[in-house]
Structure 1
């Protein structure tokens, strides 16, 4: 009797842990914005994942260059 109660309680605990784990994993899933279509102002949307990846890398590099090299102030005359 004691062994049976121990096994049943262990199975109940495992079921609760599995349920909580599944809920937390489902809550952390989000849509990937990089794979969405381009805005109307863009020239053309990349056709393949590779082109999308290269476009994202290029945009990131341009933003990084712009942040690291701010425009020089014009000298006062």
Structure 2
């Protein structure tokens, strides 16, 4: 009895994963890269190499901007 429920549950879980995988595969590829606010062009243009270099440059600029921000220091209250 429990094996039957376990098998049915496994089949249902696999069906859900299959449906989600199919939807992900059919999703437009432009949605995979989020638009970067403040960038001159939100969608890269040109060859694949140019697109890759542009994305790398955008990530590098974002990381540099994040590294420049001051981190809040925790309050060190001794009791």
Q: Bigger radius of gyration, 1 or 2? A: 1
Q: Whose RCO is larger (CA < 8 A, sep 6+)? A: 1
- What is the TM-score with the length of structure 2 in the denominator? 0.41
